[in-house]
Amino acid sequence: MRWFWVDRFIGFKPGKSATAVKNVSLAEEHVHDHFPGYPVHPQSLMIEGMAQTGGVLVGQAFNFEEKVILAKIGRATFHRLVRPGDQIVYHAEVVDEIRPEGASIRGTITCDGQLVADIELMFVHLDKSMSGEDFGDDNFVFSADFVELLRMRELAQQFAAADGDK
């Protein structure tokens, strides 16, 4: 089973930045288990949400053909808690450029305009790693269903833009 810690992308500039949102709900089991009696969204899952936001940004640069994985959390500084009912915004920016080996991302997480966290992450393209390992042709990071969903969304946006031109 795959877990997604991002509900929706609200901004995307290929090769530059991505912005996504997550609505934190009391219906999610993890908010009750983290601190019993005091429901909060765990910081580790916020890092994962930022990794998913940044990972899609890095993966898109090579048309989702590379297996992009989180290689390193350079820094993660948290400034406040996130509770059920909050909507958090993940904003990821490419630090320099996306290279064949991977990329570095600098990100912020905000809630109601307040800084929740600032994070630095490093991603690698697994097939381009220096390990010499063969990870096979199956892209277990970006499945065919995931890529098809993105393509359908892109087509829908193109149709909507063309319809708006009439």
Active site residues: 34
Cα–Cα distance for residue pair 108/72, rounded to 1 Å: 16
The label of the residue with tokens 């630095």 reads 120
3 state DSSP class of 55: helix
From 53, 33, 50, 54, select the one nearest 42 (Cα to Cα): 33
Q: What burial letters (b/e) apply to 35-56, b meaning 16+ CB within 10 Å?
A: eeeebbbbbebbbbbbbbbbbb
